[in-house]
Structure 1
Amino acid sequence: MRSTLNLKDKKKNGETLIYLIAFFKDEDKKFVYSTGETIHPNEWDFKNRQPKSLTGRSQKTDRHRAIKLQLDRYSNFFLKITELYKNTNQEITIENIRAEFDIEFKKVTVGKDIFYEAYDEFMSRKIKNQEWADATIKRYKNIKNILQEFEIVRNYKITFSKINDKFYSEFTDFCMTDKQHINNTYSRNLGLFKTFMLWALNNGYTYNAKFRNFKKKKRVITNQIALKIEDLQKLIAQDFDTARLEGIRDVFVFSCVTGMRFGELKLISKNNIINGSVQLKEEKGAEKEMREVPLNEIALYILRKYDYKLPLKANQKHNDYIKEVFKIAGYTENVEKTTTKGKEVIRETMPFYERVSTHTARRTFITMMKQKGKSDKLISKITGHKDMKTLNQYYQVNDEAKKDAVNDTFDIELPSLKKVN
């Protein structure tokens, strides 16, 4: 798509405005935008659509050059913005392009802190469109806090124009060194930041696309805890002095035998239990299909115990209390936790109970199901996973499982041992 420059009134005796003009075929209309520059028709080169080239040094020569420089800004911006819209699959309309010109040439008011204004607008739209779950909202609020802390600690004022290679290096070092983020945490946060930047690019808040080159750290599958059937039996048999800890234990066991996310447990009621299964409609998107989660005798026993209303706490509180449950149950032996930060592998020794969280329950369900030979497709229908790669990240293979697998595979009857002389 091309633009041209023309005079508002070619026959005017005095100076007339210079317009940038482009024809939009889809709308069958002309885009006409005043450059604010004026010139006498006698001084205009109608063939080349620019002020006449003058030689020598004079006020008129300097003025023509200044006008041409300003007109080039308009022509170049038209080319730039239409190419951007094409590359980002946005609809090129007269209304959209006019709005871009108004922002670029200061005909609309733009806030001083446009980066965070854009970020707040991004969040507001996503929330109003009901595109995000509560956990996603929380993550994006956390990213904003991290960016604002980064500005203070590293004395780096964030603007769209300063999202460049230097920002990437400083922000990466801040996250990995100051915040002590491991690779997986850093990569997740950088991915969320890039999602916002792409939205800002597509919505005309910036034309800076350098963020596309920002590379995530290679994600590492860390060793996690998954329970065995004996552990569940031990937990169920454990007595607790308080109803609070007993309730925490019961909710955890329920999650272990259903594979449900902690955030889904609040959706359970008598009304959505049909033929021994929870009919689960996720909050994350109306487009997602209904999911049936089978309830075994353990799950049904726990639901009846609490009249189908599980004694739920806030996620963080539950994470704190479940560690207390496992400590009382005797899971105090030391285990190793391995994480990766940059190129460094970090090994920590800590009590078993410190490794347990709400996620342990879902991981236990998937690990037990896979160890029993259940297919990924069947498991995913229960857990709601769409991506098999994500599903398999939950599967934990311990040393005992490895030994059992090898022994089961090579279960060959051997002859009596004969000593070799």
Structure 2
Amino acid sequence: MKTNFSVLFFLKKPKNYTKGAVYFIFLRITVDGVGAEMSTSRNCEPERWNAKAGKVIGTKEDVKTLNAYLENIKAEVYAAHSQLSVDGAEITADSIKCKFLGKEEKAHTILEAIKLHNTKMKALVDKEEYAPGTLRRFEVLERHVADYVTAKYGRADFNLKRIDHEFIDGFDFYLHTVKENDTNTANKHIKNLKKIVSICRRYKWISTDPFFGHTLKSKPVHREFLTADELQKITEKQFTTARLSQVRDFFLFSCYTGLSYADVQKLKLADIGIGVDGERWIFTYRKKTDTRAAIPLLPIVASILDKYKDHPYCLHNNRALPISSNQKMNEYLVEIAALSGVNKTLGNRIAKRTFGTTVTLLNGVPIESVSKMLGHTNVRTTQLYAKVLDTKVSEDMAPLMEKFVSRYQLVNKVPESKISADTSILRKKCTPVSKMTEAVIF
């Protein structure tokens, strides 16, 4: 690859300079605007230096010897540059300097950086500071980057300093085509790669940000949740086997508390206390964000807790509920959905969204309170739940619709009996959502 390469001799004033003292002669190597300096171990009086020519002025023998010495250094630097080009090595100011001095420049690689990051994260996972799933995502990134570097460049690793927009765009294209990732999945891998590169910049392994100016375009995600009717079907369904009945209870517990599988699994009886209103609340810390969550117990939640308080597993392990493995839970939830006539894939994510939508926001709970109960560190995360609530928009518009209907009657002197059928239907549709879900909650 062609580079802009130059060599310049210049004078540098000593730190403890005194008037009349000589200056040191330094050499600066510049490649593509990035320089590296080193001393020539020679000095010169400032008035005898020709800055434009980069040499000493004069015809005496000592001057000729010094200028010849500088020219020899310059020739060796150019030779080092040529040798790096022949070897196909990366040409930088530091690499030329190291080649000239006979030193090996320490070249850090992208896979080295990812492996170092993953090793540190694994130790933190063991201390429960990171979730195992977070580590798995970076392990997948390591495999994808290794496969990409091998396929695109025919190498086992890649120099960090050579990562640029071409590398990033190529990796993004590779994820979409070879790995068959969708846009949002590919974006997650790119963001994780960006995190690795940012760490390398802090370590000063690279000086520039290859992600500067790089933008990601994501696709909107359809966040599915259970409607009041679907929640009612699951609640009222009678199961003949204890295992399905038990898993259904755990699923409903998440639907009415917004707690994740990991939060419910670690929930202790001691986490149930009396809140500011004198009623029972859940006081816990979210495993994912380590944020405090205080959740009032709705009647159905309290009944589930009371149902299992004397369960042998709960008594022996100091747990509020006897939770099965996540894999088994998901398997049983497939059966529960089919038997309940709900055509959706049940799981902890949909349970959490159901709490944030059908159970709370649709019943007029302020979004700030919902955000706090869900353990979100930013209310904007909770706003993603609110975007899907067309029914809530209908309810909020009901008072305004009533005003316009009344004004229309008054201005046009239209009797109630002659209001158009469409307006009457619209009024019916604007029935408060709280009436729809009241039976489900209580």
CA 1:283–1:365 in 2, change beyond 3 Å: closer, same or farther? closer
Say if 2:357 is the partner of 1:359. Answer: no
CA 1:329–1:206 in 2, change beyond 3 Å: closer, same or farther? same
Match among 109, 112, 121 for residue 114 of structure 1: 109
The structure number with the bigger radius of gyration is 2
Deviations along 1:121-146, one digit per CA (max 9) or x if unpaired, are 22334555665333322322222232
Bigger RCO of structures 1 and 2 (CA < 8 A, at least 6 apart): 1
Say if 2:322 is the partner of 1:322. Answer: no
Match among 362, 367, 370 for residue 379 of structure 1: 370
Residue 415 of structure 1 corresponds to 416
Q: TM-score, normalised by structure 2?
A: 0.64
* C-alpha distance in structure 2 between counterparts of 1:289 and 1:402, whole Å: 30
CA contact (8 A) 2:113 2:196 kept: no
CA contact (8 A) 2:293 2:373 kept: yes
Deviations along 1:238-273, one digit per CA (max 9) or x if unpaired, are 233443333332221111100112321122011221
CA 1:359–1:289 in 2, change beyond 3 Å: closer, same or farther? closer
* C-alpha distance in structure 2 between counterparts of 1:329 and 1:69, whole Å: 78
* C-alpha distance in structure 2 between counterparts of 1:401 and 1:228, whole Å: 12
CA contact (8 A) 1:248 1:321 kept: yes
Residue 277 of structure 1 corresponds to 281
Shift of 1:396: 5.6
Shift of 1:208: 4.2
* C-alpha distance in structure 2 between counterparts of 1:110 and 1:231, whole Å: 61
* C-alpha distance in structure 2 between counterparts of 1:105 and 1:316, whole Å: 60
% identical equivalent positions: 21
Match for 2:281: what amino acid?
S
* C-alpha distance in structure 1 between counterparts of 2:149 and 2:77, whole Å: 40
* C-alpha distance in structure 2 between counterparts of 1:382 and 1:106, whole Å: 62
Say if 2:289 is the partner of 1:298. Answer: no
Match for 1:173: what amino acid?
F
Residue 143 of structure 2 corresponds to 145
Match for 2:416: what amino acid?
P
SS at match of 1:410: helix
CA contact (8 A) 1:319 1:357 kept: yes
CA 1:4–1:418 in 2, change beyond 3 Å: closer, same or farther? closer
Say if 2:69 is the partner of 1:65. Answer: no
* C-alpha distance in structure 1 between counterparts of 2:394 and 2:40, whole Å: 85
* C-alpha distance in structure 1 between counterparts of 2:241 and 2:133, whole Å: 30
CA contact (8 A) 2:254 2:351 kept: yes
Larger deviation, residues 312-321 vs 259-268: 312-321
Deviations along 1:64-117, one digit per CA (max 9) or x if unpaired, are 32477799xxxxxxxx99xxxxxxxxxxxxxxxxxxx99x98978958x73222
Larger deviation, residues 195-204 vs 144-153: 144-153
Match for 1:310: what amino acid?
L
Shift of 1:46: 5.2
Which runs of 5 or more residues in structure 1 are unaligned? 8-16, 21-33, 72-79, 82-100, 332-351
SS at match of 2:294: strand
CA contact (8 A) 1:267 1:280 kept: no
* C-alpha distance in structure 2 between counterparts of 1:106 and 1:60, whole Å: 18
* C-alpha distance in structure 1 between counterparts of 2:165 and 2:257, whole Å: 46
Match for 2:341: what amino acid?
G
Shift of 1:298: 1.4
Q: TM-score, normalised by structure 1?
A: 0.66
* C-alpha distance in structure 1 between counterparts of 2:293 and 2:13, whole Å: 63
Which runs of 5 or more residues in structure 2 are unaligned? 1-9, 15-23, 28-36, 58-62, 81-92, 275-279, 310-318, 407-414, 421-442
* C-alpha distance in structure 1 between counterparts of 2:101 and 2:339, whole Å: 67
Say if 2:263 is the partner of 1:264. Answer: yes
Shift of 1:284: 4.5
CA contact (8 A) 1:224 1:396 kept: no
Larger deviation, residues 236-245 vs 294-303: 236-245
Deviations along 1:375-413, one digit per CA (max 9) or x if unpaired, are 111111211112222111123636655555555542346
Deviations along 1:273-323, one digit per CA (max 9) or x if unpaired, are 1112222123446xx553312222211222233335434344455344323
Match for 1:328: what amino acid?
L
CA contact (8 A) 1:201 1:209 kept: yes
Deviations along 1:40-70, one digit per CA (max 9) or x if unpaired, are x5xx4354698758889x9746423247779
Deviations along 1:183-211, one digit per CA (max 9) or x if unpaired, are 33232322221111111111122234212
Flag the structure with higher helix content: 2
CA contact (8 A) 2:115 2:142 kept: no
Shift of 1:152: 4.5
